Amino acid sequence: MENKRILITGGPGSGKSSVIKKLEADGHYCLHEVSREVTAEAQKQGIDQLFLEDPFLFSFKLLEARVNQHHESKVSSEYHIFIDRGIPDVIAYMEYFGTEYPSTFTKACTLYKYEKVFLLPPWEEIYVTDNERYETFEQAKIIHSHLQKTYLGFGYEPLEVPKNSIEERCDFILNNLDV
């Protein structure tokens, strides 16, 4: 039985991590966002904010980590694997920032696919910034449009998750898996 990678994505502060944590608490197998791990590893090496100091290296490390998650998902015995952000997110952010990238980034997007993509829309009422989230809500809306365009460009049909409670959002996702 081949497992199914279910991707949950969206702009900053759209509730992705909260949804993933709830799914995990309910017993579903989840892989968490890796950007904070990449940042923490760079900080151990003396780079305070790799994202700001070397955006390309940060993006490359994200790409590596997300490809590793994809490999990890393939060896899991779980049928549905929920993943917080995917490989195309890296390209969407690079497009947003106007960062050039080699074809290895687009090749990764075509090699490592997801069976279903859920897109959480910008939601101003729940949006907050923190030590690692610098974007304004206006920027989050623009990033959302880049994410949507990027996933559509790679042949996905992202299903938008309604702005509801975490429980209702999780129910929406679980009721719309059909993979």
CATH code where residue 128 lies:
3.40.50.300
Lookup: tokens for 175: 């009721």
Backbone angles phi, psi at 12, to 5 degrees: -60, 140
Distance CA 127, CA 140 (A): 9
pLDDT of residue 27: 95
Percent of the chain residues topping a pLDDT of 90: 56
The SS3 call for residue 96 is helix
Q: Are 148 and 14 in contact (CB under 8 A)?
A: no
Q: How far, CA to CA in Å, does 140 sit from each of 13, 33, 35, 165?
A: 8, 17, 16, 20
pLDDT of residue 74: 84
- Per-residue pLDDT for the chain (179 aa), expressed as one digit of tens each? 688 999 999 988 888 989 999 999 999 999 998 887 777 777 777 767 766 677 787 889 889 999 999 888 888 888 999 999 999 999 999 999 888 899 999 999 999 999 999 999 988 787 576 655 567 778 889 999 999 999 999 999 999 999 999 999 999 999 999 85
Listing DSSP states for the chain in one string gives: ---EEEEEEESTTSSHHHHHHHHHHTT-EEE---HHHHHHHHHHTT-TTHHHH-HHHHHHHHHHHHHHHHHHHHT-S-SEEEEES-HHHHHHHHHHHT----HHHHHHHHHS--SEEEEEPP-GGG---BTTB---HHHHHHHHHHHHHHHHHTT--PEEPPS--HHHHHHHHHHT---
The pTM score is: 0.90
Domain that holds residue 26: 4-175
Number of domains in the chain: 1
Q: How far, CA to CA in Å, does 62 sit from each of 21, 22, 67, 155, 167?
A: 20, 24, 8, 21, 29
